[in-house]
Amino acid sequence: MTNARGVSLDLTTPEGVADAYLAHPDDGRPHPGILLYMDAFGLRPSLEAMARRLAGHGYTVLVPNVFYRAGRAPLVDLPDHIDPGKRPEIFEKLGPVMSALTPALAMRDAGSYLDWLAGSPLVAEGPVGSTGYCMGGVLGIRTAAAYPDRIAAVASFHAGRLATDAEDSPHRLADRITAELFFGHADQDPSLPADQIERLEHALDAAGVRYRSELYEGAHHGFTQADTAAYDADADDRHWRDLLALFGRTL
């Protein structure tokens, strides 16, 4: 690993300004770009630490506040240790913000994030990768489908509702994806039951997508997030191994 530094910045989008965090190796050279999509709790110190850790492996990592239309991060007062079961008001406030970020709006924003990466002297030429957590995993898959020529790999960890009956369900985008995908599913995740995993894999197989779909046994939704009650250190370690292996062979 190399030393990495991070900085807060603002990104211009067609509809305003998104606050973001950028982490990159401390060598001044261009490195493969990574778009890191946040979970619902948003841009905060623990995600910034994840970005710096990833950057230390030789990547330039951009973490946008995808909820920027509702305000700069953090949108809600978050405790140092997040336990939604004890703080139900957190999701009461975030729920409407999540619903307002439609797939169309999110993918319009994704174009701006990718444009920023493409124009940065800290990012090497060529397609970039993406990793996403919870809702961020869904955004990563949608971005791969919306910008197939710009995304080489996507990792999705403990994402829910990947293969529902909805017309805009992510699995219906499989035939638009050219990137290699990795899915790290939480075994104890009611938002992604076994039948949805099967439906997702069937759609990916039918479309000829290169992917790995793995079940992290015993892990709960949110297992990678060290500042939450769902955190699982063993599953998180496995997540880092799988994530770095994906980017190592694609970027």
Q: Has 134 been annotated as catalytic?
A: yes
What radius of gyration do the chain's Cα atoms show?
17
Identify the active-site residue in 109, 221, 232, 239: 221
Beta bridge partners of 183: 156, 213
Look at the alpha carbons of 94, 160, 59, 12 in this order and tell me if their dihedral is positive or negative: negative
Determine which one of 134, 158, 171, 185 is catalytic: 134
Residue type, 140: G
Establish whether 189 is a catalytic residue: yes
Active-site residue (options: 189, 220, 232, 239): 189
Query: Active site includes 220?
Result: no
Cα maximum dimension of the chain? 47
Q: Distance between CA 185 and CA 213 in Å, rounded?
A: 7
Q: Are the C-beta atoms of residues 102 and 139 closer than 8 Å to each other?
A: no
Q: What residues are paired with 105 via a beta bridge?
A: none
Quick check: bond before 74 cis, omega within 30?
yes
Q: Which residues are catalytic?
A: 134, 189, 221
